[in-house]
Amino acid sequence: MDDPKGRTALITGASAGLGAEFARQLGAAGYGLVLVARRLDRLERLAAELRDRHGVPAEAVEADLADPDGPPSIAGELDRLGLAVDYLVNNAGSAGPDLLEDREWEEQADYLRLMMTSVARMCHLFIPGMRERGFGRILNVASVAGRIPRTNDLNYGPSKAYVIALSEALDLTLRSEGVRACALCPGFTHTEFHAVADLLEEKAALPGFVWYDAEVVVREGLAVIERGKCVHVSGRLYRWIDPVLQSVWTRPLARRLSGGG
């Protein structure tokens, strides 16, 4: 990892799960931290823990990325604190509503803002400064679900496919300027995600070998972006499966097995 002395990492969705693990590992590496989420009390406890443990500055910023005013409010707080963002981790997200069954469009619009628009806007706000300074890292948390269409996945997977495509285009655009972008694509990961999304029964029905710890996923993501990789499927099992899902020869079979007919 590049020398983090005097540099700041901003992590969205930092109050739990992968976001909190990103904060722990980037703090341990020496980055100053800006932790963003809706649950300010949890952010403040984590910020205090990391200041004490690693001796790095850590700020907690309350913001809702589903709100159109969320990203500019974060940028305004960074200006107030006098901080520039060198390492951006776009991690905030959720399972979301059913596109066809949940009829309130505003709920759908909020979800799309959270999963896609906010990612693009955070990049729009913070990447120009990285370009000017000649250094930056953008790690966008996507998913294996963004790599293959699945029956009844009409919001989560498609939104993650956008994040993957955006990350690839950003990396192609920026890498000659000292700025790197990477889409991190985990499979099933032990976090609070399934409990919050009421998916604990689904989790219990899956075999243990398909699950990875958040520590492994984050460690891999932080390592591969330094090696210049712009899309990384996390977990050895998923890296074995992914070529099968992407092959022009086997992708039709994968679609049928997922219920696509």
Q: Which two tokens stand for residue 7?
A: 């540099």
Predicted pLDDT at 243: 76
Give SS3 for 167.
helix
- The pLDDT, as a whole number, for residue 195 is 47
Q: How far is CA 196 from CA 10, 16, 96, 182, 213, in A?
A: 23, 11, 11, 26, 17
- The yes-or-no verdict on residue 45 having pLDDT over 90 is yes
| CA gap 118, 4 in Å, rounded | 26
For residue 239, what pLDDT band results from cuts at 50, 70 and 90? confident
What's the confidence (pLDDT) of residue 150?
Answer: 84
Q: Please, is 252 exposed, middle or buried when counting C-beta atoms within 10 Å of its C-beta (0-12, 13-18, 19+)?
A: exposed
228: nearest Cα among 177, 192, 184, 175: 175
* Average pLDDT score over residue span 73-100: 96
Q: Is residue 162 annotated as a catalytic residue, yes or no? A: no
Residue 253 confidence (pLDDT) above 80: no
Which pLDDT score, from 0 to 100, does residue 194 have?
41
Q: 255: exposed, middle or buried (C-beta count within 10 Å: 0-12, 13-18, 19+)?
A: middle
Q: List, in sequence order, every beta strand (DSSP E) within the chain.
A: 8-12, 32-37, 58-62, 87-90, 136-141, 179-185, 188-190, 211-213, 231-233
pLDDT at 255: 60
pLDDT of residue 12: 98
- What is the reported pLDDT for 3? 73
Q: What is the mean pLDDT of the chain?
A: 89
pLDDT of residue 206: 53
| Confidence check: pLDDT of 80 > 50 | yes
Per-residue pLDDT band for 197 (boundaries 50, 70, 90) equals very low
Catalytic residue, chosen from 31, 87, 111, 156, is 156
Indicate whether 4 pLDDT > 90: no
Between 34-43, 125-134, 140-149, 174-183, the lowest mean confidence (pLDDT) is in 140-149
Query: How buried is 148 (Cβ within 10 angstroms: 0-12 exposed, 13-18 middle, 19+ buried)?
Result: buried
Tokens found for residue 160: 């993650």
Task: Please say if the pLDDT value at position 155 is more than 60.
Answer: yes
What is d(CA 50, CA 28) in angstroms, rounded to the nearest whole number? 8
The pLDDT value recorded for residue 203 is 46
